[in-house]
Structure 1
Amino acid sequence: MKRYSAIAACMMLVGLLSGGGMAARAEPCQQSSGLDEAYCDADGDLVADLPADPAKWRNPDTLVWAFAPIEDPAVYAQLFRPFTQHLSHCLDRQIVYYPVQSSAAEISAMRAGRLHFAGFSTGPTVEAVNKAGAVPFAGKGENGALRGYHLVAIVRADSPYQTLADLKGKRVAHVSAAS
């Protein structure tokens, strides 16, 4: 259970201090990032700033969270039950896991303030930051190292594309449009 302590601390910080969709700024903000106009990035770090007025910060009694959608969301609900219970104990508040059907639903729920923190797949993370005010704070790790993804390009031996550089300027299809 100790491995959850750092995660719980980070999630508490994000859950309690994050402005999210419900605490959007009313005052104008000069910014150059791709954030929705509801959010401000005055410090230029490409993520939404906390509202300047602490009265707009949220501290809900119940925190709702989600993880990237899969075909059968009930699988995650069962898998994350021990984590959800541990986090509830650590934060001394109710924690509710919200199974999402799609990345769009996950982002929409966060923007509307119904979702306080979430695990996003790599593709939708940019959209969650720009449209829902999400602030990334952690990444998956394994054996003390950040876990990542690798792209594998497989071509026929007689293909004109033999290196990744050969793909420059070409269109490449992925499994998902957000990938």
Structure 2
Amino acid sequence: MTYLTNAASAAAILAAMAAPAFADFQLSDRYSDADGDLIADIPTDAADLLDPSTLIFAYTPVEDPAVYAEVWQGFLDHMSEVTGKKVQFFPVQSNAAQIEAMRAGRLHVAGFNTGSNPLAVACAGLRPFAMMAAEDGSFGYEMEIITYPGSGIEEVKDIAGGDLAFTTETSNSGFKAPSAILKADFGMEAGRDFTPVFSGKHDNSILGVANKDYPAAAVANSVKGRMIERDVVSEDQFNVIYTSQTFPTTGYGVAHNLTPELQDKIKDAFFSFDWEGSALAEEFGKSGEAQFIEISFQKDWDVIRKIDDANGVAYDCQ
């Protein structure tokens, strides 16, 4: 897969908000979208449907997958009860590996991070339907540009001439959004005004700043908040020099070619899960989440597709 990423004006993104960004988003030729909801249709030929005895679940790449395997276990046990299937946690090391696993039929249920959701939908047939939210239904996170005290960086323009850590090119807050914002609002471009370095994950970028390996980094503040709550890092190790608008968070969905009955049961597992006293509540409550809510990729990811468009992102699903 090839990601074409030439940063463009964030002002253009904001100006485009009045018009939906539906027409330009297209799925890989291997999928159909007869109803126009921008996600792959469920195959109508029974021969193309999957009904696996074991469901494979993956959460977006994190620094320590073993921690999240434990966090998700209670939920996966619930999914097993609802679906009548064995459910296995699959640790992934990168967004690209996660997308390829679903595209190849090795991954059935997954949470894809904000920026990789459009790529997973277009190239892997992801059908996203859920997102974590607070008790009152509010959701989302902000992109922050962080540095460490004593770095000499007091504001965004001070990044010029040095390094800025991104996560991966598929990440919204870890690359796409800051690239657009830096060019539009500060006239700064990677390679010309600062040197981009890629850490691979938000956790790595956050730890890199905390350990003074990176002078600055663009990260999701929800990840930083959970790491602070787990005492992996501390608040006083960071200065925040920029905070963005709020973006939707990790989107959860299924492979398009699971049987309709199985897809319905998986959805039911998400929306019937009791968060109270769960490991999910303990971990994700650190960033305010308390439930799963239903989402529309067409509506809720409109701003993310606009950022992709403004950044010149194109998807090569070959």
Q: TM-score, normalised by structure 1?
A: 0.68
Cα separation, 1, equivalents of 2:31 and 2:188: 34
Contact 2:157–2:186, Cα closer than 8 Å, also in 1: no
Give SS of 1:137's match. Answer: strand
Cα separation, 1, equivalents of 2:112 and 2:49: 23
Aligned pairs, how many?
143
Query: Post-superposition shift, 1:151?
Result: 3.8
Cα separation, 2, equivalents of 1:151 and 1:72: 21
The AA in structure 1 aligned to 2:104 is A
Select the structure that is richer in helix: 2
| Pair 1:167–1:102, CA change in 2 (3 A) | same
Cα separation, 1, equivalents of 2:122 and 2:45: 21
Cα separation, 1, equivalents of 2:90 and 2:156: 46
Query: Which one has more relative contact order, counting CA pairs under 8 Å at least 6 apart?
Result: 2
Contact 1:139–1:146, Cα closer than 8 Å, also in 2: no
Aligned to 2:71: 79
Aligned to 2:95: 103
Aligned to 2:244: none
Give SS of 1:145's match. Answer: coil
| Residue number among 50, 55, 58 corresponding to 1:58 in the alignment | 50
Cα separation, 2, equivalents of 1:57 and 1:153: 44
RMSD of aligned alpha carbons: 3.0
Give SS of 1:136's match. Answer: strand
Unaligned runs of 5+ in 1: 1-30
| Pair 1:171–1:139, CA change in 2 (3 A) | farther
Query: Post-superposition shift, 1:85?
Result: 1.4
Give SS of 2:76's match. Answer: helix
Query: Post-superposition shift, 1:117?
Result: 0.9
Aligned to 1:36: 28
Aligned to 1:136: 128
Q: TM-score, normalised by structure 2?
A: 0.40
| Residue number among 122, 141, 154 corresponding to 2:114 in the alignment | 122
Query: Post-superposition shift, 1:170?
Result: 6.2
Query: Post-superposition shift, 1:46?
Result: 1.0
The AA in structure 2 aligned to 1:56 is D
* Large movers: runs of 4+ above 6 Å: none
Unaligned runs of 5+ in 2: 1-22, 147-153, 159-180, 191-195, 197-216, 220-307, 309-318
Aligned to 2:83: 91
Aligned to 1:49: 41
